[in-house]
Every structure is written in structure tokens, then in C-alpha cells.
Amino acid sequence: MSVELDVFVGNTTIMDEEVYQFWLDGYTVNDAVKVRMEGGVLEECEASAEVLRSDTMDQYRTFQMCERLLHSPAKLANQLLFQIPPHRQAMLIERYYTFDGVFVREVLGKKLSKGTKKDLDDVSAKTGVTLKSCRRQFDNFKRVFKVVEELKGPLVENIRQHFLLSDKLARDYAAIVFFANNRFETGKKKLHYLTFQDFAFCAGQLIIVHCNHSRVLMRPALIGKEFLQDLKELKILITDKDLLDQHKSLVCTALRGKTKAFNEMEANFKNLSRGLVNIAAKLTNTKDVRDFFIDLVEKFIEPCRSDKWTAGDMRLYLTHYTNSAHILDTFKHQVVWDRYMGVIKSCILKMYHD
């Protein structure tokens, strides 16, 4: 005797969160049944493996039917096919758009193209996330990208409204979209120690203002047109020998006796300063933008780390480094400097860990 057809349809759609997670994670029905059995639902409800299998199949089918609606979450609220209470709808959407940190780390900054999608099996093998789940996550990134690309207004808010996501998730998506649009390099070995959350934080710092069309705007906030020239002007800090020395002495005076790493700071000041200011100047060139993170690590974070600066040292140094520039009488670009250093400082502080 074999079951040829087996369906269960409730007036209110029955969904088990645990099974939903298995489905999202790309488990096959068999695997999900296995895991559920180990989980002990059986003893709890005096059911057999057969019952569990039938239930899992049913739910998988339901999710498959819902998937189309989840692609445009607003539809879920006014479709008539499934009667799902609003808080369950919110759960379905949120979980559907939730992604794995390890997976997103692999595709972060890559072009969301068919080519990348083809390589997902490698990503799957590397991260241990099932291919099915990888595809869903990748398609989600792509879908969000496609929708917000056409929209005006603030990026995070657009994502939140269109996909009915929580604020946190909307911010993460904004970061992903931002990275994909600017093709930031995140895959180099030196950057491996950085997590998605590090990058997402930096992206949040970089995306500040949005006004016109997002195609343009998804560039780092620092590259506003009015800014381009100003950023170049910062170069004076390293090109003008007097200014550089003056800056160094101001910073050293302030730091003396406050940190164990003072000697290293003093010795490296010029190199570090050159690194930071060069990054600012490089930002004006669209092509070089993608090297932002690698530059930051190579030119600044790595030297400091090899000198064994603590996080506190770093904070102290950057604070004084930024503030001392205000005292320089010949330095006229205070506003740009503050804005630039504000972003850079918080990025470095976030990125400065093992």
C-alpha cells in the first residue's frame, strides 16, 4: 500500500516555524523528517515517522505555494488564497529574507549577475549552506537591488516599505545593495577576518545622505559631487611638509604619556597620515572606490596592529589626529575633514579587531 496523494488544507493556513526553517535552509523532506524525529516531536505527540513525513510534505508544499507571494511581500497581505494572520505573515517575510552571515560574506561586493549565480555551488560547498538556500538568498539580494535601484528616497526606508522588513534587516539589505552597487572588494585574504556585520556597519556609515536617483546615490555618501574637489584638497595635509610636521607634533604632544604605544605612534605618524589622506583622495576616482576597505586595512589597520595598538590606543589616536587638524592655521578644510574623519574613524574602530 502506498500513499498516492496526501493533502491537508486548513482554512487558516497551518505553518510550523521549525519546518519553515528547514525549508528555508534547503533541507530535503527526508532530511527535515530526520531532524524532526531527532528533535523529539514524535514522543511528544505519539506520532509515527509516516505522520511526520506527511506533515512535512504538506508544509513544504504550502511554502512553495507561498513563495511566489513572498517575492513581493505586500501581496501577501491582500491575496485571498491563504488566510494567514498578520503576525504570521510578518514572520514568514522576515524569515524568508533573513540570510546567512557566512553566505553573504562570500558574495558581498560581487556583481549580482547571472555569472555570480552560476558560481553559487562553489559558495555552497565552501560555506556549507545548501545550494537551494544560497539561491534563495542570492535571488533575494537581486530582487531588493532591482526594486530600490528604480526608487527615489532614502535607501533603508525604501527597502523597509517595499519588503515589509524589520529595521535591522532593511539596514542589512541596504548594506548589501550598497556593496553590490559599488563592487567593494571584500574577498581579499587580508579582509577575511572582517565579518558581514563589520561591513554592514561601515556601509551604514558611508551611506548617509540620499536625495536624487539611487543609481547615483548608492555611491558612498562621501562622493557627493560637491565633495569630490574638497576631498582632493585634503592632500595638503601630507603634501605640505610644514603642515605635516605641525600636525605630528600637535598629536604627539596630546598623546604623550597616555599610551604604551606612543613611540610607535610617533614613528609611524607620517605613514599613517599619508595612508588616510590618500584614501580620501582616491575616493574621488570611482574605480578606486572598490579598494576602500583593502586600503584601509593595508595602509592603516595592519601597521597599527603589528605595533600592538589596543582598541583604546586607536580611539585615542584617531580622536587627537582629527581634532589636532583644527588647530592648524593654514588648514582651511575643516568641514570636509570632520565629515571624512567621522566616517573613517568609526569604520576603523569597527574594523580594528582580530
Please say which residue, 27 or 103, places its beta carbon nearer to another protein.
Answer: 27
46 binds another protein (CB under 8 A): yes
168 binds another protein (CB under 8 A): no
Please say which residue, 105 or 136, places its beta carbon nearer to another protein.
Answer: 136
Residues 280-319 binding another protein (CB under 8 A) are none
* d(C-alpha 334, C-alpha 340), whole Å: 10
16 binds another protein (CB under 8 A): yes
* d(C-alpha 220, C-alpha 174), whole Å: 12
77 binds another protein (CB under 8 A): yes
12 binds another protein (CB under 8 A): yes
45 binds another protein (CB under 8 A): yes
For residue 152, the SS3 value is strand
38 touches 32 (CB < 8 A): no
DSSP 298: I
56 touches 19 (CB < 8 A): yes
Number of amino acids touching another protein (CB under 8 A): 49
Residues 108-167 binding another protein (CB under 8 A) are 161, 164
Minimum CB separation from another protein for residue 80, in Å?
Answer: 5
Candidates 18, 30, 346, 97; CA nearest to 198 is: 346
Minimum CB separation from another protein for residue 86, in Å?
Answer: 4
37 binds another protein (CB under 8 A): no
Q: Which of 32, 33, 57, 314 binds another protein (CB under 8 A)?
A: 57
Instruction: Determine phi and psi for 8, rounding to 5 degrees.
Output: -140, 125
H/E element holding 20? helix 17-24
162 touches 74 (CB < 8 A): yes
87 binds another protein (CB under 8 A): yes
Binding segment for another protein among 74-82, 95-103, 104-112, 266-274 (CB under 8 A)? 74-82
Binding segment for another protein among 83-91, 131-139, 246-254, 258-266 (CB under 8 A)? 83-91
CA atoms within 13 A on the CB side of 341: 20
Minimum CB separation from another protein for residue 178, in Å?
Answer: 24
Candidates 10, 6, 31; CA nearest to 88 is: 10
Burial of 283 (0-12, 13-18, 19+ CB in 10 A): buried
The residue type at 224: G
Binding segment for another protein among 76-84, 137-145, 180-188, 300-308 (CB under 8 A)? 76-84
30 binds another protein (CB under 8 A): no
Distances (CA, A) of 303 to 25, 210, 273, 297, 308: 40, 34, 12, 9, 9
238 binds another protein (CB under 8 A): no
Beta bridge partners of 213: 152
8 binds another protein (CB under 8 A): yes
Please say which residue, 48 or 306, places its beta carbon nearer to another protein.
Answer: 48
2 binds another protein (CB under 8 A): yes
* d(C-alpha 225, C-alpha 321), whole Å: 26
49 binds another protein (CB under 8 A): no
Please say which residue, 158 or 324, places its beta carbon nearer to another protein.
Answer: 158
The cell for 171 is 539596514
Q: Which of 28, 54, 284, 346 binds another protein (CB under 8 A)?
A: 54
Please say which residue, 57 or 244, places its beta carbon nearer to another protein.
Answer: 57
237 touches 273 (CB < 8 A): yes
80 binds another protein (CB under 8 A): yes
92 binds another protein (CB under 8 A): no
Distances (CA, A) of 206 to 179, 222, 350: 10, 7, 13
Burial of 99 (0-12, 13-18, 19+ CB in 10 A): buried
Interface with another protein (CB under 8 A):
1-18, 44-48, 50-52, 54-55, 57-58, 61-62, 64-65, 74-75, 77-83, 85-88, 161, 164
